[in-house]
Amino acid sequence: MKHFTLLKGVILRHKKYTAHEIFIILPPALRTITYSKWLKSPTLKSLYPDDLPRETAYSILNPLPPDITDSLTTYSILPPLTSLAEFLTPVLISYVALVTAAPPPPRLAKDLATECEICERNWVPLTYHHLIPREVHGKALKRGWHTEDHLNDAAWVCRACHSIFYPSLYE
């Protein structure tokens, strides 16, 4: 059992190391891309469309150093007769699709919230609090205070903490 635990630790460290080595070789713009940056930048949209073509993924992944291929082959992670670019292309396509996708609306994200973001209680029902009040959305856009993709940002809070934001409503 001790040998299995040790081996598991070695494999987990190797996986983390390999993922890091691959990630740092990606173009800087791709490593730091977010939905907001992508939405505002025609250059990022053309370089990394949300449906990244396989050819583009191949061109990004082909310059990876051979030691990554050797390492993945040694641990039997890379299937025989498969290039590193072929193996990682679906991963890169999924990554680009994920980071260029709009965040879910607050109501759909409720299942992702597990506790109040203020008091951290996890046994009470949660409500969402708009971080930018709906009444000022037009003004916030017009004055450039926020972009449209952030207008529905919300915090998941319990009723007690939600009342902190609207003291006059609960007096």
Tens-digit pLDDT profile for residues 32-57: 998 888 888 999 999 999 899 999 99
Tens-digit pLDDT profile for residues 121-154: 899 888 888 888 888 888 888 888 888 878 888 8
Stated pTM of the model: 0.65
Q: Please state the domain extents for the chain.
A: 2-99, 106-170
Distance CA 24, CA 34 (A): 16
Distance CA 166, CA 58 (A): 52
